[in-house]
Structure 1
């Protein structure tokens, strides 16, 4: 009698699952492929984190970059990592979109800093003093607000055209300095504040362009808060060797600053 009741209950549950379609939906969800492509510049490739893939050459793709960490943790069906140190928006369009197609389900990208002259700005600030630094940052901010939006639009349009079904996650940049922090040497506090203001401009412009394209945007300023240069626990290199690592996230910055934001939005 008990076995008969158990059989009856099992049959009823099976019928309910069939009627609601839950069984099929669950199976489909489990079988849905995840095809991930990581695009962008040095903050995406992982410059500063070390452990670079020797096959990536000057692109310096790190096994500690947030994209690689996400792929390791989530085991997508396919993963293509085309981010490259020094990349600008046009470089993404011309050289990074090859793996994208209608089957791509996830794309991440950080781009725009090099278009705005990040490297040249930091070089000017370190070598030429406060006045030259503030002036160069002002030029960068003008570019960010007036020219960069159209360049981001072009890159985002190209991504959507190649990957019409993908969820696209745009990741921003951290503020570079903790103001009134522990640095007693280096560039002036006024220069640090100017550089942070440019980072805020990048956030404002990039988040707006991402939203207008229907892309998710990840603001990493919060996760890096308390870990900027001049903090007691910096996740960003200051001037360092090799010189190309300077002003880039450390391995801790990739895992603690970028990865959690990507994981939340992917």
Structure 2
């Protein structure tokens, strides 16, 4: 009788352990069959080489969406990112730098789409052009601090535009996991370097403030709509334009490396890794 009781007790313990392990098992890794990437030049990554002119969108086959799609083994990847795109250009046609018109990026979304990344916002009301494009072309000092009030007004309008954009994405692709992808940190926390446009200390401070406020508005839009946000600004600390291992090209572009003040291959690889790590896990519970 003692031996039987001992065997029964051992079996009971084994059953309980087995049930406990079943209850604590990790959720299966998500898989994706149709991925659509939307965004501007920080998604398209012009001249990170092997470039698709795409009527002036200048998409690289080495941008983070392409690398991410390969890493995740996505069956179908549609990259509609286009240099110069604004939130309006996701739902309406866009005139590119080459004078061509490209269809709305959101036309690629379907009910079967199960993954969407969005990297957009910096071009609204010519924010990035005023902040960086104009500055790199000037031979004199770029007086950004003089435009602080204008930058603030533009950024005040960004979150509502992003919220509307995200809502339209979810309407067109209701099954999709949607991730809003932030912009990187462009300038060092302090100081200057030869790779930056000529700016006064107060202009560099304005540039940093706009960069930070831009990603804060993006994070707030993601939180408001309940989608995921990829914080590339924090991840890119130590990889600004002036760093020893930059993820952003300096004020002089290189047609075989990267456009001026735009993503480098190293930054695109890092961002793809960041997103892959997130997307291999189940989405956070709302």
Is TM-score (shorter-chain normalized) higher than 0.5?
yes
Q: C-alpha distance in 1, partners of 2:169/2:228? A: 14
- The alignment of Structure 1 onto Structure 2 pairs a total of residues equal to 242
Residues 158-237 of structure 1: pairs in structure 2 closer than 5 A: 158-181=168-191, 183-184=193-194, 186-188=197-199, 189-237=201-249
Runs of 4+ in 1 over 6 A off after TM superposition: 29-32
Structure 2: distance between partners of 1:219 and 1:158: 22
1:259 aligns with 2:272: yes
Equivalent residue for 2:119, pick from 86, 110, 114 = 110
Please give the per-residue CA displacement for 1:157-182, whole angstroms capped at 9, x wherever unaligned: 11011001111010011121113346
Alignment match of 1:98 (pick from 85, 107, 127): 107
The 8 Å contact of residues 39 and 96 in structure 1, kept in 2 or not, is answered as yes
Q: CA deviation at 1:193?
A: 2.1
Indicate yes or no: 2:52 matched with 1:40. no
Q: Distance in 2 between matches of 1:101 and 1:131?
A: 44
Mark the CA change 1:98 to 1:224 in structure 2 (over 3 Å): closer, same or farther. same
Q: TM-score, normalised by structure 1?
A: 0.81
Please give the alpha-carbon distance, in whole angstroms, between the structure 2 residues aligned to 1:224 and 1:89.
Answer: 24
CA distances 1:6-63 after superposition (whole Å, capped 9, x unpaired): xxxxxxxxxx9xxx9xxxxx9xx79965211000111111125222125x23111111
Q: Mark the runs of 5 or more structure 2 residues left unpaired by the alignment.
A: 1-17, 93-103, 280-286
CA deviations over 1:224-256 (Å, ceiling 9, x no partner): 111101112211111113598111111111112
Q: Is the 8 A contact 1:210 1:216 kept in 2?
A: yes
Output one character per residue of 1:89-127: Cα deviation in whole Å (capped at 9) or x when no partner.
Answer: 010112001121221110001000000420232244342
Distance 1:59 1:124 in 2: 20
TM-score by length of 2: 0.76
Alignment RMSD, CA only?
2.8
2-structure distance, mates of 1:123, 1:224: 21
Q: 1:103 to 1:194 in 2, by over 3 A?
A: same
Alignment of 1:18-97 (within 5 A): 34-54=33-53, 56-94=54-92, 95-97=104-106
1:127-138 paired onto structure 2 within 5 Å: 127=138, 132-138=143-149
5 Å matches for 1:148-163? 148-163=158-173
Gaps of 5+ in 1: 1-15, 21-25
Q: Distance in 1 between matches of 2:260 and 2:29?
A: 42
| Separation of aligned partners in 1, 2:52 and 2:208 | 31
- Structure that is richer in helix per residue: 1
Confirm or deny: 8 A CA contact 2:109 2:173 kept in the other structure: yes
SS in 2 for 1:37: strand
